[in-house]
A and B are shown apart, each in its own frame.
Chain A
Amino acid sequence: MSQTDQDLSGQSRTGDPYAARDHARAQAGTVVEAMPVVPAAAPDAPLAPGEGPVVWEETVAPGGYATRRLARGTRLRLIDLHGDACASLLLFNAENPLERLNVADTLKVQWNGYLGQHKLLLSDMGRVLMTILADAAGTHDAFCGASNAASNARKYGSGENYGPHPNARDRFMLGVAKHGLGRKDVHPCINLFKGVRIGADGTTQPQIGPFAPGRAVTLRAEMDLLLVLANCPHVLDPRPDWSVTALRATAWNGAITPADDPIRNGSPEALRAFLNTEDYYAR
């Protein structure tokens, strides 16, 4: 049965276009937790000298997603506001999205399976997409990927985007679609804030928390990027209830990584990845 929004005298507030317009406009100024701030502003953004302005400020809903184009040099700070966010990440070269995050290369080239401070996120073309500048969380996952409609349906009874238990893969689908990309572009992802450690026999050992509120990870864009974020329960979350809390994203402009950057020069593999990236932008 259809409903109407009525005033005290029982008159509909939306019975004609003028009333409907006034009704819609009266919502302006509503503040909720999960929303973008436009124009972007973040008084607590830790801008170093020469950095700024803030270019993106958005809190992603539990079960929500967000997508953004980030310029080379941009700093991106993600905050697990209440200790139960799971930031699943897809990354593409904005100029040519055929180039994208390669999780296997990211681990293999750096000789380590655990993401954290000073690790690089590498593309499938031997270049650096992002650098993890700072990591106050330490629990991340490059092995287990995104939940999907089937896995959420098994655990929670449903997984659709339109339902109460969205899954990360279908969130990614919406995010990539907004850049003209599709199913084949949803590549293996990484999960920040929810961790997986590997036992001696190869077992996956999930670190799901919930954790202390306010843990932050700060990354630097090393190329012009398309970023797609999904914030859904980790695929190995053992809790019977669909549990996830809001994720805050703040980005600000910063310098392109200089030749004397310690992370750039931190290993021979890192240096060659940065050299390849700089070579790509030699034009």
Chain B
Amino acid sequence: MADPQVAGLPGPIVHDEVVPARAPWLHRVRRGETLRIVDLEGNQAVDFLIYAAGDDAERYSAQDTIAAQGNLFLRTGAVLLSNEGRAMMTITATNVAYHDTIGGACSCESNTLRYGHHTKSQHACVDNFLDANVRVGRGKRDMVSNINFFMNVPVEADGALGIVDGISAPGLMVDLIAEMNVEVVVSNCPQINNPCNGFNPTPVRMIVSAPR
């Protein structure tokens, strides 16, 4: 039986991997390749950073992306811009209404503010990002505001915002085409104190397709 999770990819599959719950992931995606992220079990936040492969001081900028598209939410067609205003990746398809890029990444330190000091020892996305980045010569200066695929952060009229129940579901996906050679760093979010993972971190699938 054909695998519905690879349907519609533009070319041959060059990489296919399941990232375990709570784990980091780092992968180079070449210009023109498409990265598909599959939310295997539903409402699993995938914290996502992008670095230019040849010059990692150029990296994803949530603020530049929001300013340029005039909207907080990432939907099909969203161009993910760098801190220097260049297109890094574009969302070519998603069957989730929108994705977040204002909620940032959970950290041991911010967990102490949000939930209490009893959460300091819990694993967190910043530690996943650092774990992946330190192995390739990056570090804390490389932490910036990230994308949270499959995470829902609405903003109310009075500015109230927060991570609320997700709008994803098992098998929903997002496709990203690389507009330059990039290094993608992911934290498959381990948070258990809010609904970003439905209080139950689960695996996600990463599929990379060659260009058509």
Contacts and interface: CB of A to CB of B under 8 A. Distances in A.
A243 interface: no
A122 B85 CA distance: 26
B164 to A, nearest CB: 11
A204 to B, nearest CB: 5
A108 B163 contact: yes
Contact of B107 (A124, A148, A197): A124
Given A143-B72, A150-B86, A202-B73, A126 B66 contact: no
A223 B64 CA distance: 28
Contacts of B142: 184
A254 to B, nearest CB: 24
B66 A204 contact: yes
A198 B143 contact: no
Interface string A173-189: 00000000011111111
B interface, size bucket: 35 or more
A111 B141 CA distance: 25
Contacts of A79: none
Main secondary structure of the interface of B (DSSP, over half): loop
B84 interface: yes
Given A104-B104, A113-B102, A276-B109, A184 B63 contact: no
Interface stretch (B10-18, B152-160, B202-210): B152-160
A146 B155 contact: no
Contacts of A169: 83-84
Given A102-B104, A126-B107, A143-B72, A109 B114 contact: yes
Interface in A191-237: 197-198, 200-204, 235-236
Interface in A113-129: 113-114, 122, 124-127
Interface in B170-204: none
A115 to B, nearest CB: 9
A119 B173 CA distance: 37
A198 B155 contact: yes
B11 to A, nearest CB: 30
A108 B161 contact: yes
A145 B81 CA distance: 12
Contacts of A125: 109
A269 interface: yes
A272 B112 contact: yes
Contact of A143 (B63, B139, B144): B63
A144 B153 CA distance: 16
Given A113-B161, A148-B83, A272-B117, A108 B103 contact: yes
B63 A188 contact: yes
A14 interface: no
Interface in A73-130: 98, 102-105, 107-109, 111-114, 122, 124-127
A145 B159 contact: no
Interface in B110-125: 110-114, 116-117
Contact of B66 (A122, A143, A182): A143
Given A98-B140, A104-B104, A114-B158, 9 more contacts: A102-B110, A104-B103, A109-B114, A124-B126, A126-B109, A145-B62, A145-B67, A169-B84, A202-B98
15 contacts: A98-B140, A104-B62, A104-B104, A105-B104, A112-B160, A112-B161, A113-B161, A122-B113, A143-B102, A151-B85, A169-B84, A184-B141, A188-B61, A198-B72, A202-B72
Interface of B: 57, 61-64, 66-68, 70-73, 83-86, 98, 102-105, 107, 109-114, 116-117, 126, 139-146, 153, 155, 157-163
